[in-house]
Amino acid sequence: MKESLNSPGVQIPEELSGQVAITTLDRIYNWGRRNSLWPLMSGLACCAIEMICTAASRYDFSRFGMEVMRPSPRQADFMLISGTVTKKMVPQLVRLYNQMPEPKYVVAMGACASGGGPFKEGYSVVPGIDKFLPVDVYIPGCPRTPQALLNGLMKLQEKIDHQTLKSDAHWYKKGGSAPIPVPILGPDLIDLRKIEQIRLASQAPEPGTDEDNHEVPHE
């Protein structure tokens, strides 16, 4: 702890070196957060098996302070998207994300969560959860191994280490962060943030017709 928190360039008298640590508010704040991330307990597809394996005794990500998987979004600050994200599941994931307290993070586990994987062209699969949620770390692979998940968790810790209360802590600013509109699942998945674009696209004339919807004769 002493090595990770002491500010470089500050000399501490030798007689106080084991009793005093000089640091900044950002460092002590980030050090506490990086070692106490609580994942939201969820699994979407086969990547969840690898997540369970990582939590077991052989790999044991409790050494990162992340072993407390919470079944409630109110007690979690770290969403692990493990597996294929279908259009039916996206509204539930967005709703859970909105219920998580700030600061919160999202990790996309595997090829399916990151970009759709082998199901990218499927009618029922979203080509990447980043179309709806802000992703902090992408973990490639299909299947994604426990070692890759541990590496992704360490990358997330590195990102937290470089955050500052002055510029990155939007959750402390006036008004906070606005919730993400929950998509509507109808004949297809409708992102309410793009509703104006959808309205304009539906009103645009089809190719090959004029503004009065008359067919344009071919020469």
- pLDDT tens digits along 51-65: 888 888 888 888 888
Domain ranges of the chain: 38-160
DSSP 196: H
In 129-214, the DSSP E strands lie at 137-139, 184-185, 189-190
Indicate the pairing of strand 189-190 with strand 184-185.
Answer: antiparallel
| pTM, to two decimals | 0.79
pLDDT digits (tens, 9 = 90+) for 99-108: 998 889 999 9
Q: Cα dihedral sign for 152, 153, 158, 159?
A: positive
CATH architecture type of domain 38-160: 3-Layer(aba) Sandwich (3.40)
For residues 160-182, average pLDDT = 79
